[in-house]
Chain A
């Protein structure tokens, strides 16, 4: 995949992003927040973890998002017997050329959908996660760069479900954002019944932006301005999570980095050229929630269901952290 980015002006950015959201929403109804968070992750060059019980549309969201962008999409269904090479690809001996030839695995795509990632063995999980972090795959001593842009959208079931291998915290940390879909409200559920009667709405989905436009949007997000005050604010929140007595594990420096990068994307989606503390506030739970571990007395190990207490702790920390104003008053 080539990485030719179109130049996207801020005025166009907003329109394009609306298009994507509208397109995805024809499939996933009533989940605006999840959709926007997913888009935010893609634009911030992060990876997305969608965590929820089966059947609420996790995969649907991932596929709709991928479909709306004119880019390569691969889907990997994780099972207990899936091998690392099933993801990264293998070198096979070409009898004709009498040499090994690399057959790229499904990870070589702009958007990789990893379904039920926690059903695979840790060894396989880590194969994907390594490529996520490094943006490349090494097979038999050779390194193959992955496509740009590259986003993994993984879904997983809550850990209590049978046959799951929970992601270790080090690997959860690689996902920029974790969202949970939640059940649809009754209106959305009724509408879904009607639209799914005949065909899958996914089939009628057509790309609304080109890969070049997506690259342009990502470049635009990189150009978003983050003031020192906002950086300070993000750092303060991260440090508070490390100090908080109700948390056993606080946010990593990578988490802070992800928080600020996601905030830039959110600012751009909001039509702003600079990040506000409000962006940080809004993304604190999605970005930090899956990385923090509550102290022993608080039940739960990071699942979306049990992380309510984690979300509460994050809300409390955010609410207690002073917001630097950034602008001084002349004396």
Chain B
């Protein structure tokens, strides 16, 4: 006995290795398919490591415990789970763990925070998303769960076909993500890997009905991937451009796709507003102050529920002497889908908001991690800063403490930026004059406004390298001008930040309660720098030629504004920067809009998770039912089954297609009842009779010595012989007689599952 076990197990080991490798391959390819929604490659490595640990751990344990197959089946996935968990701890919380990998309360706490932050990151990121720490963690946890499911299906339950479910779940994620696309090639590759898995697993599972569930799972996966995304109702989080008419969406980081937005020919109205003064307003969405990474964007805001935007603090740095003017702006957000609220600077209060919004005390931007701007109709009270040139000059070159964040630049910032900045501002004595010089420099020749040149020449995007390239090429759009001015200002010691939002937009013919109405479209998306002056605070500049308007204090035509020397060879002229006549329209589209509209990565992972869950729930009954049928058939074929197995299978299959066979019928009466079922052929009836006779002998006959039921001494009939074949025939007939609806229900929501569960519960009770 022991010897036989050993041989089968070592043979099992030899057989299992290819299976493990194929499964690993299938998962590797399928994980790879996520590249359409996640940037970088570290997350893929992480997933692969986890896959190796789970499957490798399972294989190792099964090999070690080859004498105890049942124990090995349970211990295999357990070992995989422990290895994967340890790996996750080491990767995400080794400093908090005991010996670097043993979870402690601090680790749990860390994980909780990671999960919370992941939700945030998902909401605020666009597709393809950066796999930051929280997202990586979520991915690792989800991947581990799916890997374990596959391990259990393939090796513990020996149903390799069902390992397709976790694979399908991963495959579905990009399809469910707004803007996420499915990589066709990788999909084909993972389908092939899955087929290979079935092929190598075939010997293990036997013949019984393998094809149907396989095909069903495959088809279901593909269909869900193709159909579900369109069929799902759009939620606030996913409300981008799908099905809601034209909308404008901005993501968390509008800068990423600014150029795309500008170049887009789709123009949508984002919002309308009117002001008491009748003047147009710059409306701010996000602030960008961290220039270190190559993808600039707003830092993850830490929202504080105390900071409700009904009452803003005094704008930072604003001294009493600075002239301000009160302004009230009435905003209606039509189609802007954004977690940021368009608000003029500096606001003092906002009323009329429906959603849950908080302001960020540093930047005075208003954000939400629950609500979206779309549909908000609100009133903003703000002040308009009108510092005099004298006040700005008086700020000199002083910079108060605590502004290091707004002065820091990456160490590898190209020298051309500092050189240019110094060259342009040579001879200026105050920060104000230097700022004017920078603005003037950027608004003059040879700088040209162009949305296409950066793409053509390969320096589209953000980052200090892009700024350097822009200063050499002299062509770009608002993001380049704003970035250049902000970075050069920092080189000169002037605190600076970049604001992404909307320029004032176009005046409309209509009016809003007597006030002039402005309409802001996607083409009004814009980026501009804000510089800090002691005693005044943050002050807007407009270095982009042909966009927006230059504030009075920065406009050389305003009396008192110092004339800066600078290198401008050509006088500043808004038109001079255009590279073609239609430029004003062309550049308008700041990237923010596109960013959101295209990606609205918002919550792709959450949706993916929900889909996985739904998928699991939807197919759970089918899977359970199928597993039971398969187990019975396999047992019958292996000679381990009893007539009762065949009998129950017939009864449950009949129940599944809506043929009720009462438990008060004797087997003989039940057989007679089933004879009349539609689709029952003569062969089916004969098979039914044989099964009926078998269950009678087994259930009511005299037990024979070996525990089975026989038929008299002289006529012992092996009740098991041919039962599997008979059962298969009967099941075929039952299926053939059922109409499409019944068959679908029988597969997806088998009623027998319910009655069996009820029975079990009843027995327990």
Kindly identify which residue among A227, A274, A277, A328 contacts B644, using a CB–CB cutoff of 8 Å: A328
B673 at the interface (CB under 8 A from A): no
Question: For residue A192, which residues in chain B have a CB less than 8 angstroms away from its CB?
Answer: none
Bound CA–CA A10/B702 (angstroms): 15
- Whether the pair A325, B635 counts as a contact (CB closer than 8 A) is no
B642 at the interface (CB under 8 A from A): yes
Listed residue (B668, B696, B700, B711) with the most chain A CB atoms within 10 angstroms of its CB: B700
B213 at the interface (CB under 8 A from A): no
A56 at the interface (CB under 8 A from B): no
Bound CA–CA A330/B698 (angstroms): 13
Among the listed stretches B143-151, B394-402, B453-461, B658-666, which one makes contact with chain A, having 4 or more residues with CB under 8 Å of it? B658-666
Among the listed stretches A35-43, A299-307, A314-322, which one makes contact with chain B, having 4 or more residues with CB under 8 Å of it? A314-322
Question: For residue B699, which residues in chain A have a CB less than 8 angstroms away from its CB?
Answer: 227, 229, 325-327
- Whether the pair B640, A230 counts as a contact (CB closer than 8 A) is no
One digit per residue, 1 when the CB lies within 8 angstroms of any chain B CB and 0 when it does not, for chain A 226-245 equals 01011000000000000000
Question: For residue B640, which residues in chain A have a CB less than 8 angstroms away from its CB?
Answer: 330
Question: For residue B665, which residues in chain A have a CB less than 8 angstroms away from its CB?
Answer: 323
Write the nearest CB–CB distance from B78 to chain A, whole angstroms: 22
Nearest B residue to A230 via CB reads B700
- Whether the pair A273, B696 counts as a contact (CB closer than 8 A) is no
Question: For residue A19, which residues in chain B have a CB less than 8 angstroms away from its CB?
Answer: none
- Whether the pair B669, A278 counts as a contact (CB closer than 8 A) is yes
The main secondary structure of chain B at its interface with chain A is helix
Q: Which of B689-712 contact A (CB under 8 A)?
A: 695-702, 709, 711-712
Question: For residue B668, which residues in chain A have a CB less than 8 angstroms away from its CB?
Answer: 276, 278
Q: A273-B711, A273-B712 are in contact. Are A320 and B644 (CB under 8 A)?
A: no
Q: Which of A274-326 contact B (CB under 8 A)?
A: 274-278, 281, 318-323, 325-326
Nearest B residue to A227 via CB reads B700
Kindly identify which residue among A225, A227, A278, A319 contacts B664, using a CB–CB cutoff of 8 Å: A319
- Whether the pair A10, B696 counts as a contact (CB closer than 8 A) is no
One digit per residue, 1 when the CB lies within 8 angstroms of any chain A CB and 0 when it does not, for chain B 636-669 equals 0000111111011000000000000001111111
Listed residue (A10, A326, A327, A329) with the most chain B CB atoms within 10 angstroms of its CB: A327
Write the nearest CB–CB distance from A241 to chain B, whole angstroms: 15
Q: Which of B607-661 contact A (CB under 8 A)?
A: 632, 635, 640-645, 647-648
- Whether the pair A323, B663 counts as a contact (CB closer than 8 A) is yes
Question: For residue A320, which residues in chain B have a CB less than 8 angstroms away from its CB?
Answer: 664
Bound CA–CA A10/B711 (angstroms): 11
Question: For residue A328, which residues in chain B have a CB less than 8 angstroms away from its CB?
Answer: 642, 644
Residues of A within 8 A of B (CB): 10-11, 225, 227, 229-230, 273-278, 281, 318-323, 325-330
- Whether the pair B701, A273 counts as a contact (CB closer than 8 A) is yes
Nearest A residue to B669 via CB reads A278
Number of B residues, CB within 8 Å of A: 29
Nearest A residue to B699 via CB reads A326
Q: Contacts A273-B702, A273-B712, A326-B699 given; 17 further ones with Cβ under 8 A?
A: A225-B701, A225-B702, A274-B697, A274-B701, A275-B700, A276-B666, A276-B696, A277-B667, A278-B669, A323-B665, A323-B666, A325-B667, A325-B695, A326-B698, A327-B642, A327-B647, A330-B645
Write the nearest CB–CB distance from A324 to chain B, whole angstroms: 8
Bound CA–CA A330/B643 (angstroms): 10
Q: A10-B712, A322-B663, A330-B640 are in contact. Are A276 and B700 (CB under 8 A)?
A: yes
Question: For residue B696, which residues in chain A have a CB less than 8 angstroms away from its CB?
Answer: 274, 276
Question: For residue A278, which residues in chain B have a CB less than 8 angstroms away from its CB?
Answer: 666, 668-669
- Whether the pair B695, A323 counts as a contact (CB closer than 8 A) is no
- Whether the pair A321, B644 counts as a contact (CB closer than 8 A) is no
Bound CA–CA A303/B27 (angstroms): 78
Write the nearest CB–CB distance from A268 to chain B, whole angstroms: 11
Bound CA–CA A281/B668 (angstroms): 11
Write the nearest CB–CB distance from A191 to chain B, whole angstroms: 32
Bound CA–CA A115/B368 (angstroms): 101
Bound CA–CA A320/B390 (angstroms): 102
Nearest A residue to B640 via CB reads A330
Bound CA–CA A119/B254 (angstroms): 109
Kindly identify which residue among A10, A277, A321, A322 contacts B700, using a CB–CB cutoff of 8 Å: A277
Write the nearest CB–CB distance from B323 to chain A, whole angstroms: 87
Bound CA–CA A328/B643 (angstroms): 9
Bound CA–CA A327/B640 (angstroms): 14
- Whether the pair B702, A323 counts as a contact (CB closer than 8 A) is no
Nearest B residue to A10 via CB reads B712
Question: For residue B643, which residues in chain A have a CB less than 8 angstroms away from its CB?
Answer: 327
Bound CA–CA A68/B699 (angstroms): 36
Question: For residue B709, which residues in chain A have a CB less than 8 angstroms away from its CB?
Answer: 327
Question: For residue B642, which residues in chain A have a CB less than 8 angstroms away from its CB?
Answer: 327-330
